[in-house]
Amino acid sequence: MNKKWLMVFMLAGIFTTAQSFAQEGKQERPRQDPEQMFKALDTDADGKLSEAEVEKAQRGRLKENFAEIDTNKDKFIDKDELKAFREKRRSERKQNRK
């Protein structure tokens, strides 16, 4: 009888632990305000992001899309270029949902 209860408690513990780990994986990172993100990445406070600043911050998608975001090809991303890119992506996502 004791072995049976011990087994029940062990299984309950395993399932509870597994469930908590599964829930942790589903948590989303809170969205950062674009203005705050830009300010944090702009380490030299010149109002634009260089490739080096983006690389140093290890921002994957921003780094991958740097050339596309930099529409005037001056090797920097300013706030307007970033805003336009975000709006373009938002519009594309809406179109894909239809």
For residue 63, tell me if it sits in a domain.
yes
Indicate which CATH number applies to the domain containing 44: 1.10.238.10
Q: Which amino acid is at 87?
A: E
For residue 82, tell me if it sits in a domain.
yes
For residue 53, tell me if it sits in a domain.
yes
For residue 2, tell me if it sits in a domain.
no
Among the ranges given (2-6, 11-15, 22-26, 29-33), the one the predictor scored with the smallest mean pLDDT: 22-26
For residue 78, tell me if it sits in a domain.
yes
For residue 77, tell me if it sits in a domain.
yes
Number of structural domains, the chain? 1
Range of the domain at 87: 34-97
pLDDT digits over 24-80, tens only?
555 565 677 888 989 999 999 999 999 999 999 887 888 999 999 999 999 999 999
For residue 7, tell me if it sits in a domain.
no
